[in-house]
């Protein structure tokens, strides 16, 4: 059943295959009156583009976004926005030898089990290319968050077993891996080069912070803000784990260690990651995601073909060594989409006193 739509009020549907005509996103539920141009979207797209960052493949795609609907004279109109990115540099032929083979770590097998049919070209719908549409939609959400001065930033905390040892936000823009520790970033780059020669790939950990998120977002009980963030982040293909605040470390703490005490000046710590009982508490929202290594590797691997016969596979072609750093704007996009949706959800359902105030405004305003 339909699973390509994200959000309840700010609703995004992505569509398109890696080697089809185009990929895109349709946003239904974006409020009117937001200034929006393709340029607003392009900056995020460029960060996700192949060829960015040391771990990236050399595939060249301009990933230029066009807005097909929903904007009039530079402003959103409240009607659906459709963002489209035409596929240009798609070498379908380089995948034809894989059409009868299940690549380890990919969705080839599970897609066939589910659908009885699959578009094998470059992973089809399961390709990381799909995330370009998320980034485009996320850029629109970011414009909405900007009205509340909410800022969403992701960065590399670990790559190939090398951890950032500090969280220096200014470093993030200074290295190609968006790592908040320039020295660690340099060692990560070395690790990438080493593994590239081995025909292998690397996983890592991405950290995400959402700053100035107002208190009160999140809908108990199933749409807690952390639940929706976890679902959003885990929906990114390469992600295998999500933590909020102290995450798995909290499992080894006592209550007195983990509880964030309150003072008249605010919370004393942020083990909760800015979310209490599923509702934002005004502190920065902090999350971490585990990114698995890119499954496409040149090293020989054992697998089977569609006749269930054993075959050896070496995956050539243009592949990244790690989903990091290209996954970083994707993580940001999913957090932006989640927060934008919850902002609008909370607008729908504020405390009734606000109703009365709103009424008075209406009387004067209309």
Site for a copy of itself in 16-35 (CB under 8 A): 16-17, 20-24, 26, 28-29, 31-34
Of the two residues 43 and 113, which places its CB atom closer to a copy of itself in the complex? 113
Question: In the complex with a copy of itself, which residue's Cβ is closer, 169 or 358?
Answer: 358
Pick the closer one to a copy of itself by CB: 233 or 339.
Answer: 233
Contact between 120 and 294 under an 8 Å Cβ cutoff? The reply is no
332, two tokens: 């940001």
Residue 112 burial by Cβ neighbours in a 10 Å radius (0-12, 13-18, 19+):
middle
268 binds a copy of itself (CB under 8 A): yes
Closest CB to a copy of itself among residues 173, 308: 308
Pair 233, 239: CB distance under 8 Å: yes
**138 part of the interface to a copy of itself, by CB under 8 A:** no
Q: Binding string to a copy of itself for residues 331 to 360, with x set by CB under 8 A, is what? A: -------------xxxxxxxxxxxxxxxx-
Rounded to the nearest whole angstrom, what is the least distance from the CB of residue 191 to a copy of itself in the complex?
A: 10
Q: Pick from 43, 169, 277, 306 the residue near a copy of itself by CB under 8 A.
A: 277
Residues 6+ apart with CB under 8 A from 73: none
Return the range that interacts with a copy of itself (CB under 8 A); candidates 38-46, 53-61, 172-180, 307-315: 307-315
* Cα 177 to Cα 43, 54, 291, distances in angstroms: 16, 7, 14
Least separation in angstroms between residue 81's CB and a copy of itself is 8
For residue 147, the minimal CB distance to a copy of itself (Å) is 5
* Cα separation, 265 vs 240, whole angstroms: 37
Nearest distance in Å: CB 175, a copy of itself = 19
DSSP annotation string for 121-174: GGGGGGSTTHHHHHHHHHHHHHHHHHTTT-EEEEEEEEETTEEP----GGGGGG
Contacts of 167 (CB under 8 A, 6+ apart): 155, 180, 181, 207
Q: Does residue 301 touch a copy of itself according to CB under 8 A?
A: yes
- Our finding on whether 75 is near a copy of itself (CB under 8 A) is yes
Shortest distance, position 209 Cβ to a copy of itself, whole Å: 16
Pairing label, strands 162-163, 151-159: antiparallel
Count the site residues for a copy of itself by CB under 8 A.
167
Contact set for a copy of itself, span 209-248 (CB under 8 A): 214-224, 226-235, 237, 240-248
For helices 327-348 and 38-48, what crossing angle results, to 10°? 140
Phi, psi angle pair for 212, to nearest 5°: 65, 25
Kindly state whether residue 281 participates in binding a copy of itself, applying the rule CB under 8 A.
Answer: yes
Min dist. Cβ of residue 37 to a copy of itself (A):
14
- Tokens, residue 351: 């405390």
| Closer by beta carbon to a copy of itself, 170 or else 353 | 353
Q: Which of 37, 60, 62, 72 binds a copy of itself (CB under 8 A)?
A: 72
**Nearest CB to a copy of itself, comparing residues 2 and 170:** 2
Q: Rounded to an integer, what distance in angstroms lies between the CA atom of residue 281 and that of residue 283? A: 6
Closer residue to a copy of itself in complex, CB, 52/223: 223
Minimum distance from residue 155 beta carbon to a copy of itself (Å): 14
**Cβ proximity of 183 and 135 under 8 Å:** no
Query: What distance, in Å, lies between the first and last C-alpha atoms of the chain?
Result: 43
Could you tell me the smallest distance in angstroms from the CB atom of residue 331 to a copy of itself?
A: 13
In the window 151-210, what residues touch a copy of itself (CB under 8 A)? 158, 160-161, 195, 198, 200-205
Question: 84 pairs with which residues across the strands?
Answer: 24, 66
CA dist., res. 62 & res. 312, Å (int): 34
- State yes or no: residue 306 binds a copy of itself (CB under 8 A): no
309 binds a copy of itself (CB under 8 A): yes
Nearest-10 crossing angle of helices 130-146, 327-348: 50
């Amino acid at each position: 059943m339909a699973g390509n739509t994200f959000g309840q009020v700010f609703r995004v549907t992505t569509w398109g295959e890696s080697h089809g005509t185009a990929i895109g996103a349709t946003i239904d539920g974006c409020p009117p009156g937001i200034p929006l141009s393709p340029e607003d979207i392009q900056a995020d797209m460029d960060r996700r583009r192949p060829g960015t960052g040391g771990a990236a493949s050399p595939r060249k795609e301009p990933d230029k976004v066009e807005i097909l609907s929903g904007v009039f004279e530079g402003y959103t109109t409240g009607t659906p926005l459709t963002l489209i990115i035409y596929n240009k540099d798609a070498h379908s032929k380089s995948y034809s030898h894989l059409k009868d083979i299940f690549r380890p770590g990919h969705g080839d097998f599970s897609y066939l089990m589910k659908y009885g049919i699959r578009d094998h070209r470059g992973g089809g719908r399961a390709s990381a290319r799909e995330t370009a549409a998320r980034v485009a939609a996320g850029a629109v959400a970011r414009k909405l968050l900007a009205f509340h001065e909410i800022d969403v930033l992701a960065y590399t905390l670990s790559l190939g077993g090398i951890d950032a040892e500090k969280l220096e936000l200014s470093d993030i823009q200074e290295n190609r891996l968006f790592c908040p520790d320039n020295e660690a970033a340099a060692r990560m780059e070395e690790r990438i080069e080493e593994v590239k020669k081995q025909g292998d790939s690397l996983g890592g950990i991405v950290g995400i912070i959402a700053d100035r998120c107002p208190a009160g977002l999140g809908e108990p009980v199933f749409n807690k803000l952390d639940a929706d963030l976890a679902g959003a982040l885990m929906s990114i293909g390469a992600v295998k784990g999500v933590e909020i605040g102290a995450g798995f470390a909290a499992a080894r703490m006592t209550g007195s260690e983990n509880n964030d005490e309150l003072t008249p000046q605010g919370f004393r710590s942020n083990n909760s990651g800015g979310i209490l009982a599923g509702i934002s508490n005004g502190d920065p929202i902090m999350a971490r995601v585990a990114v698995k290594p890119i499954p496409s590797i040149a090293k020989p691997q054992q697998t089977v073909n569609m006749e269930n016969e054993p075959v050896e596979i070496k995956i050539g072609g243009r592949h990244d060594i790690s989903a990091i750093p290209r996954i970083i704007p994707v993580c940001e996009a999913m957090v932006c989409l989640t927060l934008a949706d919850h902002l609008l959800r909370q607008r729908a359902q504020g405390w009734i006193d606000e109703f009365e105030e709103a009424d008075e405004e209406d009387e004067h305003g209309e």
